[in-house]
Chains A and B, each alone.
Chain A
Amino acid sequence: MMQMFRIDSNAAHACRHHIVSSTALETLHSVHAASQQGGKQTDLKMLSGWPVNMWLWILLTFIMPLLTSAYSEKERAQELMDRFPLIDGHNDLPLKIRVYYNNRLSQIDLQKISKAATDIYRLRAGSVQTQMFAAYVPCGAQEKDAVMLTLEQIDLVRRMCNKAQDLELVTTYDDLTNSMMKQKIACLISIEGGHSIDSSLAVLRMFYELGVRSMSLTHNCNTPWAETSTDLYGVFQRENNSLTPFGKSVVEEMNRLGMIVDLSHSSWETASAALKHSRAPVIFSHSSSHSICDNKRNVPDWLLRELEQKNGLIMVNLYSKFISCGKDANISDVADHFDHIKKIIGAKSIGIGGDFDGADSFPQGLQDVSKYPALIQELLKRNWSEQDLADVLRRNFLRVFKEVENVRDNSKHLIPSEDQIPSEKVKNLCRLDRQNPILQRSISGAKFILPNLYLMSSLLLFSSIFMNK
């Protein structure tokens, strides 16, 4: 489809990132870099710490439903989720559709997608009522065509949620709550990584117009204005500059717009800075507890406390490597994260962000989006109250979403931000230097370029980059 441009035959591809292979899929979310692995708290430690009467209680709860047709945890979980169906913070089905189907929805039955962990049938089975779908593009596209690729992923989610009768795109608190009454699965759109906006607040605004309601400041790469927890790309490295002045402008503009600030993937320093700077509550859309599994993608207790102080939300990631810090995990390991976070900051700060289809291994019993009830069942077993679980399942997220909208509504006196990142921070071969005086000249027919001007402007661009190095 892409024909070579005549003068710069390499130019056509130099600034394009190709998302092609499914092996790329495994590396995309590979935050399980060996250097990140730490010890995990073992099951043994947990089991041996339980008192005897707890054991009796557990035995009874197992035996009772077998002996009688009494109300089991499983049924309780299901009944609870019928009343409070899940709002999940992060799902990468759009990425799978890109990698396997090149965004061709006509090749997919959204009811049953065998190559993914997510489809409508299993969302229903899992009592998922709202799913935040990530319009994710890889860090490799930064300084290339990240913006265009992000538009394509946003377009995909919009088409997907328009095509299926069961799905409905929502962009407001009211629409979200109404979608439950209409028995639809609500779609929210998130952006996963500030590289998608190419350091442009205008692009951020346009994404908001397109329905994006949440953005993680980084993915696995630094942006020119924020830091990642997992620097796989080694770009834009700075000393002690977790959130630059422009990064703060980004957070401010997100507050003004009513876009949720998502700190999953950000470094702890960036997260802490964003927490301080944001007027609205923030979330971690798919991160777990660093105390339980010391992967840098997880959140340490001190940062959890900062989050709770600002009425934020941590939506626990189910990816095995963030749960057990190993390849294998089980539901009990997952529940340990919930227990710990509840102990540190309480159930009102907790949600669920499964990260299905964005990672390659999930705990036994939680392989896909239909399995959430099993997790709720385990939490019920661990004496989580129904009120707490209702909060975790949806009410905490709704609270945050509403508050983000309130901050927006109280920001009407603010005008759209015209802050711009200093150009020297973003100079690259795939960005046209607007200071190039050749552009200013109007040759015959205004805005027209003489035949050799392409060559001349390329030369000037190259020379200006070399001069500035």
Chain B
Amino acid sequence: MISQFFILSPRGDVIIRRDFLGNVPKTSPEIFFRNCKFWSDDEEQQHDEAPPVFSVDGVTYLHTKEGGLQLVATTRDNVSPSFVLEFLRRMCIIIKDYCGLLTEDAVRKNFPLIYELLDEVMDYGVPQSTNTEALKTFVLNEPVVVAPSSSNPRSILSFNKGPTGVFKSVLDTSRTDSKRRDEIFVDVVERVTCTFNSSGYIVSSQVDGAVQIKSYLAGNPPLKIKLNDDLVIGKRDNPYGGRQADAGHSVFLDDCNFHECANLESFDVDRSITLVPPDGEFALINYRTTHGFKPPFRLQTTVEADPMTDSKAVLTLRLWCEVPADRGASGLEVEVPTPRYVQRAHCDLDPKATPGTQSWDYSEKTHLLKWKFKKCQGGQEFMLRCKLTLEKPYGPSLRMEVGPVNLKFTIPMYSASRITLKYLQILKRDKSYNPFRWVRYVTTSSSYTFRT
């Protein structure tokens, strides 16, 4: 079982430490930190990340990173690694649910609360109840909710799975004072993975999505959620590789799983789900689709010789944003790796573009060209012309060596799979009860690559 659990700050300081079995030396956090930091034994390539499971002197270290912190478990037994890693992820969620967010500051300020939680969540290295809701009974400490530091605003591009912008402890719902605010967040979060070949055709594409719920409703009233009528779930509704995938407009999911609180009685009738939402953040549905997916961006890259001189080349990027015109990406970055013999680059932004919305940047050290957008409206076309100064005369192989081009983006109020929430009902008889309901959509890039 798990011998120790500890949380390390980005500098390697121990901020939470709990020893369950007492069979791993106390110095394990230092041993872990050293090994993790200098994983690669090759001096030139220290970029290698340590794998999430590794062993030093008979002790296995399992770790995950969140909010700059490292959550680590050690063991001497032949445990199930996914069991331990899932537990660490769950610890992240619990801390976030109770402290509002998971940062060094939040953990330091709430350490008695976290120890209290740990006491309930794990006994002798065996996970106990890890349900945010159930834990409430046992917790006595008041959370200190820390707002994220304003000097380091969360970049919109780092938007990952969960709903952001809510930094609130689940314990707030049991408050009786005026500070309490009943609200519920339902977020459809999708991550797009897409690879295009050099002619612009999709080689592979996938959307990993989740309907994330974060509930702060006192008394946990039941909810009813309805999804699109034309939703088809591949392995559930018809045999593998069935025909319906092509049947026009339906939203087709390859595979999905539901949270245990979901009641699916009427799901097959009208695609509605009833549930009693537990406190804290959870994923009601996780799904995956490779069908009927319209890529939000297309890109064309051309590389030509400069007619004036053979020590220069012209790189042209044409980008089409293919989401509806009333939507758009809030933050887009196009990354173009160039070969080592490119000395400098100079770009001309499209003179027609609104000034200040686009920028570019070339790093002579990493040879990476970045084209950045603050905002990128749907239905538009953009262009960037870039002059590359080469160390050696231009050759046609340059075309092969530029790229692959990678896009990073976040598109609010847009779901790539076209899954939609038709309604969100709070089933409580009291007519005066009208808490805030937030339904949001967001699509981000996981890996969005154009090969050249």
Q: Do A and B come from one complex?
A: no
